[in-house]
């Protein structure tokens, strides 16, 4: 078991974060701003409290995640849905408040419908923190009034944030947390640029994302930019040069007729533990309905050359064949 709140100066921070990442559990000191108690309806805290009001201890993986975020300052939290990512974030905020490091306040940016859910979770886990929210339906004057109150944490939907981005830049939050914000997966999106600018100005930034990278490998680069991805991967061009390769692929119709020659992005294998490896070469097959064909949208199915089994998945809103890229790849993490 690893103990947290040791000296995490910059020259030791990476070593500490690597030890935490490999730990199965960590020991956190008692946190004054964390709710360990039960709700009025229960004598002891219940994990599955039907009122969603009981506090309690963090799970072991949540303690590791919160401690890791504290150590790295900038990181991506990508646990699967339902793993308690919000609890890890509130654990981080409780630690920062405990250490007197939340003086510049924190902003949580999320999908607009999730604003009130974040506020509810904050009331459950960190009721002593001053949490303010800017839900949908507020006028600009009402939003400004809330921004100017004395808060520790502001929860805001990214649509409202974009409207008031200049004001938040003047507020200079010390912690920026982006939760499942779809525009962060697209470099060309104005919202991506605005959120990234705010995140990189802050001393700490966290990206929470449980969404699979399904369409374009460049989304990995885009999601990492708010937490310093340019320092890790370099520019998008450098990332594509190092991690992507283009190969010609043959696209066929369902009837077996050759449709066209195209070029597809594939992951370039790096080998070694924790590397990203490419799929073996295979034909790309196209099965589409009349309506989707008329829209230029296709369901792409990959032919397995070994056993002839057809397997694959739809790329969602679906790229056109002419812009097909990375419909089937695996990414292997460091653990």
Structure-model confidence comparison of residues 257 and 298, the more confident one:
257
Q: Give yes or no for residue 314 having a pLDDT over 90.
A: no
CATH number for the domain that contains residue 225: 3.40.50.10810
Query: What's the rounded Cα separation, in Å, for the pair 217 and 209?
Result: 15
Q: Are residues 102 and 248 in the same domain?
A: no
| Number of other residues whose CB lies within 10 A of the CB of residue 307 | 6
When divided into structural domains, the chain yields a total of 2
Query: What's the rounded Cα separation, in Å, for the pair 213 and 225?
Result: 15
pLDDT digit string (tens) for 277-296? 333 333 333 333 333 333 33
Query: What's the rounded Cα separation, in Å, for the pair 221 and 313?
Result: 22
Compute the mean pLDDT over every residue in the chain, rounded to the nearest whole number: 75
pLDDT digit string (tens) for 9-23? 666 788 888 888 888
Q: Which residues make beta-bridge pairs with 300?
A: 286
Interval 255-268 mean pLDDT: 46
Is 157 among the domain residues? yes
| Alpha helices, H only, the chain | 10-22, 60-72, 85-98, 115-125, 140-147, 158-163, 165-171, 190-201, 218-224, 229-233, 236-243, 290-294
The answer for residues whose C-beta is within 8 angstroms of residue 289's C-beta and 6 or more apart is none
Query: What's the rounded Cα separation, in Å, for the pair 277 and 270?
Result: 6
> Which residue, 234, 266, 295, sits at the end of a domain?
234
pLDDT of residue 214: 54
Q: Give yes or no for residue 163 having a pLDDT over 50.
A: yes
Q: Give yes or no for residue 58 having a pLDDT over 90.
A: yes
Helix, strand, coil distribution of the chain in percent, nearest 5: 35, 20, 45
Structure-model confidence comparison of residues 2 and 141, the more confident one:
141
Q: Are residues 102 and 66 in the same domain?
A: yes
pLDDT of residue 47: 85
Q: Are residues 52 and 73 in the same domain?
A: yes
Closest CA to 124 of 86, 170, 155, 152: 86
pLDDT digit string (tens) for 174-220? 999 999 888 888 888 888 999 999 999 999 999 998 766 556 778 88
Helix (H, G, I), strand (E, B) or coil at 63: helix
pLDDT digit string (tens) for 128-147? 999 999 998 999 999 999 99
For the ranges 32-41, 84-93, 272-281, the lowest mean pLDDT is seen at: 272-281
pLDDT of residue 119: 97
- This prediction has a pTM of 0.73
Is 315 among the domain residues? yes
Is 24 among the domain residues? yes
């Amino acid at each position: 078991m690893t103990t947290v709140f040791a000296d995490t100066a910059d020259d030791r921070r990476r070593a500490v974060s690597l030890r935490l990442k490999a730990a199965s559990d960590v020991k956190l000191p008692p946190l004054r701003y964390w709710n360990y108690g039960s709700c009025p309806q229960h004598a002891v805290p219940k994990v599955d409290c039907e009122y969603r009001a009981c506090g309690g201890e963090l799970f072991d993986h949540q303690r590791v995640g919160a401690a890791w975020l504290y150590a790295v300052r900038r990181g991506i939290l990508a646990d699967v849905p339902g793993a308690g990512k919000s609890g890890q974030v509130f654990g981080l905020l409780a630690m920062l408040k405990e250490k007197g490091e939340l003086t510049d306040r924190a902003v949580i940016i999320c999908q607009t419908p999730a604003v009130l859910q974040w506020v509810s979770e904050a009331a459950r886990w960190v009721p002593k923190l001053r949490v303010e929210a800017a839900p949908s339906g507020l006028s600009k004057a009402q939003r400004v009034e809330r921004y100017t109150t004395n808060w520790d944490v502001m929860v805001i939907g990214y649509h409202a944030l974009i409207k008031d981005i200049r004001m938040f830049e003047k507020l200079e939050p010390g912690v920026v947390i982006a939760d499942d914000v779809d525009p962060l997966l697209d470099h060309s999106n104005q919202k991506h640029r605005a959120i990234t600018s705010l995140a990189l100005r802050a001393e700490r930034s966290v990206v929470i994302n449980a969404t699979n990278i399904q369409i374009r490998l460049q989304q990995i680069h885009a999601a990492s930019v708010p937490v310093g991805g340019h320092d890790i991967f370099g520019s998008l061009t450098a990332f594509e040069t190092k991690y992507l390769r283009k190969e010609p692929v043959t696209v066929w119709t369902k009837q077996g007729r050759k449709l066209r020659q195209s070029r597809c992005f594939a992951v370039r294998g790096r080998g070694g533990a924790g590397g990203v490896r490419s799929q073996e070469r295979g034909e790309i097959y196209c099965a589409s309905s009349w309506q989707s064909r008329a829209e230029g949208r296709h369901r792409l199915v990959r032919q397995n050359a070994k056993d002839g089994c057809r397997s694959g998945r739809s790329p969602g809103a679906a790229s056109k064949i002419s812009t097909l890229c990375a419909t089937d790849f695996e990414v292997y993490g460091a653990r």
